[in-house]
Each structure stands twice: as C-alpha cells, then as structure tokens.
Structure 1
Amino acid sequence: MSKPPRPQRPLVIALITVSVLGLVVILVVAAMAPAHTVTGTALPADQYGPQDTATRTKPLPTTTTAAPQATIAALTPGWQTAYSISRNAVYDVPQDWTVPTPTTIIGFESGNSRVVMSGAAELQPKSCDGHHTKAMAGVTGSKLGDTAAAAKDVATDRATIGGSNDDRPNATFTLSPVETLTVQGKPAAHVTATLTNPAPYDCSHPATAVVHTIAVAGNNGQSVVMVVFADQNVDGATTTETIRQMFNTLRPAGLKPADCKQDNQVVGTWCN
C-alpha cells in the first residue's frame, strides 16, 4: 500500500484471525513499521480494538486464512463493497479497485507517526516502484461528534502525515471549506485537502494529490470517518465524481453486534 505523495514508508498490514470473530490477530505482512505515535484527535483504527490492532512480529508469508467475508450488496450497480468489521461500516467501490480482507489495515507512517484505516480498498496497488498506489480508501473514527470538526481534523492529520517525504521537502496542502451534507440519511461533513508535492515528479511523487474526508454521525457522540487518498493529473487517476459517489454510499454494514463488538472501545463506530 502507499499514498498520494509518498511518505517515509507506506504500509499495508494484512491481518488474520484465529477465531470466527477475529478476536486475536497477528501481523502478516508490512513495510518497516516502527513504533508509532498518533497526535491530535483524529484517532486511528489500530488503537481501538483487536480487529484493527497489529501485533508486530517478523513478517510472515502472505498466504493466510482470510477473515470471514460477509455478503454485503453494493448500492451502486456494477460496483463492489469494502467494509470495516470493527466500525460496522461499508461503502461501495468501483470494480477496478482492489478490496482486501476486511481485517486489512491501510495507512501511512512518517517518522514516529502512523495513521491507519480498516475497511480498505486500493486503486492499482503497487503500480509504481512496487509499492505506490494511485488511490486508497478506508474507514477510521474521531472522538469529535461535530462532523465538520471531525472531517477537518482528520483531513489535516492525514494530509500532514501523508504528505511527508523522506527524500525531499514535505508536500504542502490547503483545506477546502467544510461541505455539510446528508449521507444515507445521516448528517455528515466533507473536507478536501489538496496536496502539492515538490519537484521533481515521478509516478510515486505526483505533482498533486487529494485527501477527501467524510465524517458521518456515529454512536456515542462520535464520528465515523471515511478517507480517500488519490493522486491527481496522472494516467488512471480516479475522478472527483467517483470519489463522491464512493463516500455518498458510506453506511452501517448491518453486522450483528456479536460480529463487530470489541473488547476494547472503538472510536467512531456503528457497532452496538
């Protein structure tokens, strides 16, 4: 996995479960991932609940027992779905995107900072230098119940860490005004961070990229947040229209409480 402007190390962590509920997970494969520190109130999935927690071990072969897959129909004709077990959240994805198991964690790390999401989907994974991905999506959460504040906070956090470069100056970014809307009957807010990467440009360092965050009212006065990172102005880039179509399908996945309940509290969830 990777990200729009390339970080120090993009990471994809594929998790496997040893029970039907996936209460025990182990790290299967990851890029080099040092101990992480997450700052701000945009809270990543991997701090809250075993479904989104990676126990660091030596990398293991990628052929594993996959997490049980629920059958969740897409709202968009011809599309597929990606869903987060711990957040009981699902969204539609175009057929040309890759959807790994629902226990796969996707995100960025830079220095001692790491941000991750579950319910992952990728467009053309490892299409450049064996790791860069043209777009990725996933679900995280925020303690902030104000969806506008949550969307802005997560966008700032992801753009800051996602725009970090190890071999050149960091990308700069600007935030759009907050767009308030309704997503599948729930109050929501949308913010776009537009990143500008310093030259020279190549397939892993596009000139521009975007981070879309859509925060929707969740349980317990918190927010469920979907994030989409995407390269811009490159061959095969996903469009704004496609991204909007994706996040407008964000909704509860309809999992039974026993299937998504965590021993640890998950921030930003629709799991009862």
Structure 2
Amino acid sequence: MTNPYPGGPEGWQQPGPSYPPPSPYAQPSAYPQPEQYPGAYQQPGSYQQHDPYSQGSPYQQPFPYQQPPHAPAPAKRSRVWIYVSLVAVLVVVLSAGAFFLIRAGRSGPAETTAASSPNPQAPKSTPLPPLEPGRGRPGPNTPPGWQSVASPSGFVYDVPADWAVHKPTSIIYWERPCPDGPFGFCPIRSLRNAASRPHPPQDGCKDSSTSALAGFLAPNPNEIPLAERSTISDAIEAEAKRVPDIYTDWGKDAPLGPPPPIARSEPRQFKINGADALQVSFTVTDINTSVGCNPPSSVYTVVATTNAAGTVVEFAVQTDQGYPQALDQATAQKIIDSLRPAEK
C-alpha cells in the first residue's frame, strides 16, 4: 500500500484523511524529493523526484513487492491504490506537469526533406524519433513487443509488453513503522526507473496488485551507506542484509516475529559490456498468505555491476511465486540478461 505524503521533512508527504488500520507488513509510500543518483513482508511505495528529462513544468512494487496522483496514503495495508502482493504495495504519484511532459514530443519521427543539391552523394538522414521519459531504445536482442526502460545510471533493461513502465519521477519502496522516521515510517529498500507486472485475474487477487517488479536500487541516507557499496560484492552483501526486513511482519515499532525462511543462491559471475557483474537470488518461502494478496513464496534477484563512470549500480527483479499464473523464472532471467548500457 502506498501513501503519498505531500510536504514534510525530507520531502515526505503528509498522510491524507483517515485510513484503515495498518497491516503488520512494511508498506510503500510516495515521497517527493529532488532528483539525485548516487554513483512474512513489507510493502513498497513510491515518491516523486525532479524529472531529469523534463523541459518545462515539473519507476513502484519490490522485493517481495503504484498509482495515480495523490493516491491515498497506505495505512499498514490499506493506504495504497495498487497492491503489490507479498506485502508490497506500490503507488505512483505523479504531478500533472509530469504527465504533460511525458506526452510532449510524441509527434513521431521528425521528417527531413533532402534539398536539391549538386552533390548527389550527400543524402539526408532521418533522425530517430524522440523517446518518452524513462524509455530506452530496444537492443539487438530485445524480444518483439518488449519495452525498454532506461535509468540515469546509464543502463537499459527490457520487460514484456504486458508490464507497466513507471515514470522516472517515481520511486518504489518498502517501509516499516519506526518512531524516529518521518510520520512514523522508515524506508527499507527503494527502487526507481521501475516496471511492474499486474496480477493475472486467474490468481484470484481482487486488489490492483502487482505480481512482479523490476527496477534499479536507489539508496538514500536512511538506507545502505555508500561506503558499503564500493564494490559489486560489497553491494550484494549489503543488499542481502535488507532481504529479511523486507519480508518480516512488522508491528508498531518492532518485528512481530522472525522473517520467513530465506534461501540464498550461489553467486553468478558474468560480464555486462565488459564490466564485471554479480547476480544472487533469494528465495523466500512460507510467507503469510492471510495478509492482503501475499503469495506463498517469492524470488528476489539482485545484480550488481558498474557503469561507465565506475559507479556501482544495482538492479533487482522480484517475482511472486506459488500462483498458477506466476511469472516463470526463465522470463525473469531474460529481463536480467537484457540489462545493458544505454545507447549514447
């Protein structure tokens, strides 16, 4: 469940009118903040950032686990418009200006007319059409119909056609209750430049919930210190510390019990455009399915690599499991394998 809190310390938004009692899981919220890019479960939320692609006026579900502007704030479980299963609910909070900017420049490819010239060997080329904010150009291995999502970190990834690509002004996060946090909540993990897959009707989820999510990890001062992310192996280890918190049932200010069983895979070492990369998956089982639309199990996969500037970049794919229509891990791996440097 996500709560948009307009205006508050550190850009957190004030909760709206009354909301239902919170659930024991961490929930997402929407916090607007200026754009910046360094270098059973809980529910993810989303907050806005300054649109780095905008020219005028001014992605949301996660580990285990988005919606229109000014969505109602999530109260432990009900402060969300779009439920992200696995105690992960996301809400996309976008300003009217953001919607306008995204629509701008959709007139299609620019047309050029070659003027008559005495030199027939100087043909005019037609420039590529402009991209919407947050979108990337398909790569040579992008499956037909898949969508390409770009990040300011310099990377692009692909997701299936039926996924929702969230605006670059939104950040998805999981949070937990904490007495010292803004409005009583503290973020556990944040994602941005995200995309999500809705629950198929066959899953029986009546909420507008998400069954899978992909995006770039977006640390902030309240999360993993940058010093712990100086290498890709350090980044993986630091992220591993967040997994139990994401899947733990939380009370007002403390866990209600231990996290569900979590199995960690062996690391996979590979290259992304020549740069070293590490991949590790965490399989979570025995999740409390009595809360919301939580799945019986979940797989959270993290990839760490470096961009052209040498900065560590982390990418994550989370999928609900245990449903007849759950995203298969072969497709999840195809999303991970699509990660590549953006075209210049």
TM band (smaller chain): 0.5 to 0.7
Q: 1:252 to 1:22 in 2, by over 3 A?
A: farther
Task: Kindly state the Cα deviation for residue 138 of structure 1 after the two structures are TM-superposed.
Answer: 0.4
2:156–2:342 Cα contact (<8 Å) kept: yes
Query: Could you tell me which amino acid in structure 2 is paired with residue 205 of structure 1?
Result: N
Cα deviation, residue 214, structure 1: 0.5
Aligned CA distance change for structure 1 residues 217 and 201 (closer, same or farther; 3 Å): same
* Residue 168 of structure 2, aligned match among 102, 116, 133: 102
SS in 1 for 2:238: helix
Alignment of 1:156 with 2:250, yes or no, is no
Matched ranges for 1:184-195 at <5 A: 184-195=273-284
Percent of aligned positions with the same letter in both sequences?
22
What SS does the corresponding residue of 1:244 show, helix, strand or coil?
A: helix
Partner of 1:124: 198
Residue 247 of structure 2 aligns to which amino acid in structure 1? G
Q: Are positions 1:32 and 2:86 aligned together?
A: no
The runs of 5 or more residues in structure 2 that have no matched partner are 3-23, 28-42, 59-67, 76-92, 103-131, 178-184, 220-225
Q: TM-score, normalised by structure 1?
A: 0.68
**Partner-residue secondary structure (3-state), 1:235:** coil
1:101 maps to amino acid: K
Give the Cα separation in 2 of the matches to 1:250 and 1:59. Answer: 26
Partner SS, residue 171 of structure 1: coil
Matched, 1:136 2:221: no
Higher fraction of strand? 1
Counterpart secondary structure, 2:213: strand
Once superposed, what is the RMSD of the aligned Cα atoms?
A: 3.6
Go from structure 1 to structure 2 and tell me whether the alpha carbon gap of 1:24 and 1:222 turns closer, same or farther (over 3 Å shift). farther
Count of aligned residue pairs for this structure pair: 226
Shift of 1:220: 5.0
77, 83, 94: which one aligns with 2:143: 77
The partner residue of 1:204 within 267, 276, 293 is 293
Equivalents in 1 of 2:49, 2:232: separation in Å? 32
Which whole-Å CA distance do the structure 2 matches of 1:190 and 1:250 have between them? 12
Deviations 1:42-68 (A, max 9, x none): xxxxxxxxxxxxxxxx99789943544
The Cα of 1:250 is off from its aligned counterpart by 1.1
What's the TM-score once normalised by structure 2's chain length?
Answer: 0.55
Deviation at 1:172, TM superposition (A): 3.4
1:178-233: per-residue Cα shift (whole Å, max 9, x none)?
A: 22112343210001111123445576222211110011123554311111111112
Cα deviation, residue 124, structure 1: 0.6
- The 3 A distance-change label for structure 1 pair 19 and 162 is closer
- Structure with the greater relative contact order (CA < 8 A, sep ≥ 6): 1 or 2? 1
Q: Does 1:13 align with 2:78?
A: no
Unaligned runs of 5+ residues in structure 1 are 35-57, 256-272
Correspondence 1:235-250 to 2 at 5 A: 235-250=324-339
